[in-house]
Amino acid sequence: MSRASDRAYGAIRAHLLSGAVKAGEQLTEDQLAQITGVSRTPVREAVRRLEDELLLVRSDTKRLFVADWSRDDIEEMFTLRQMLECHAAERAAERLSREQIAALEQINRELKAAVELPAPDVARFLDANRVFHEVIIEAADSPRLGQLLGRLVEAPVVLRTARTYSQEDLRQSARDHDELVAAFAARDPDWARAVMGSHLRRAFHTFARAVGPAGSGSTQEIDAKDA
């Protein structure tokens, strides 16, 4: 991949995850070239990478859209994430260094600070949450696991879920992180796995309440049919 393609990839990915565009919104290569400041060729290469990561999708007519999913899609994504990240937590409990556990404690303090603002800083919460889970995945010491989880943890579903949280929901997420740190400090893989499982299921149900009943279609699917 060229440097221009890498720059385009990073800029478009950040644009998508920032919430500047809505799920199901149509994009064009010209728009993305303007956003990134590069030509359409590296934009096309970046778009292909983002399609592989399921952040962008194409309709039957080859139109490009910001990814959106039905409730059933989201439940499957959370189920896969739970299977993988519970395994990561279990492995990490036996491998985290003292320095890494201290880092998790510091990251969660930053997350709590974002939550306790009069208007919670969701972007700051998401950054801290992402780094917290990255430390766990790194400590699990499984490159294959890290690659698989990368697509699920940073998908827009995370951003959309965070935006449906109340302040109390965000506080509960921080409390879950506190219990995970306690499980890691105790070197208890079963405890770590159980806490991670409940943490992710709670996140799913929070999201599901906002999305609607199972079987509901995604915005992108509706737009593609109407196009």
The pLDDT, as a whole number, for residue 144 is 86
DSSP secondary structure letters along 53-109: TTSEEE-TT--EEE----HHHHHHHHHHHHHHHHHHHHHHHTT--HHHHHHHHHHHH
Question: CATH number of the domain that 106 lies in?
Answer: 1.20.120.530
Looking at the fold, whether 88 and 31 belong to one and the same domain comes out as no
Q: Bridge partners of 66?
A: 56
pLDDT < 70 positions in the chain = 1, 18-19, 150-164, 210-227
Looking at the fold, whether 162 and 195 belong to one and the same domain comes out as yes
The pLDDT, as a whole number, for residue 145 is 87
Q: Tokens 């644009």 label which residue?
A: 15
From residue 63, give the alpha-carbon distance in Å to each of 43, 206, 224.
Answer: 15, 31, 8
Q: Which of 23, 50, 67 is the last residue of a domain?
A: 67
Number of domains within the chain: 2
Domain containing residue 146: 71-211
Looking at the fold, whether 188 and 130 belong to one and the same domain comes out as yes
Q: Which of 67, 93, 109 is the last residue of a domain?
A: 67
Looking at the fold, whether 157 and 93 belong to one and the same domain comes out as yes
Residue-wise pLDDT for 99-127, tens only, equals: 999 999 999 999 999 999 999 988 788 88
Phi first, then psi: give them for residue 18, nearest 5 degrees: -75, -15
Question: CATH number of the domain that 21 lies in?
Answer: 1.10.10.10
**In sequence order, which residues have a C-beta less than 8 Å from that of residue 104 and are 6 or more positions away?**
96, 132, 135, 136, 177, 180, 181, 184
Give the CA angle between residues 125, 128, 132 to the nearest 5°. Answer: 135
The pLDDT, as a whole number, for residue 152 is 66
Rounded to the nearest angstrom, the gap between the alpha carbon of residue 160 and the centroid of all alpha carbons in its chain is 9
Integer Cα distance of 71 and 44 in angstroms? 29
Looking at the fold, whether 58 and 96 belong to one and the same domain comes out as no
Looking at the fold, whether 191 and 100 belong to one and the same domain comes out as yes
The pLDDT, as a whole number, for residue 162 is 60
Tokens of 211: 């999305």
The 64-66 sheet, strands edge to edge: 26-27, 64-66, 56-58
Please check whether residue 35 lies inside any domain of the structure.
yes
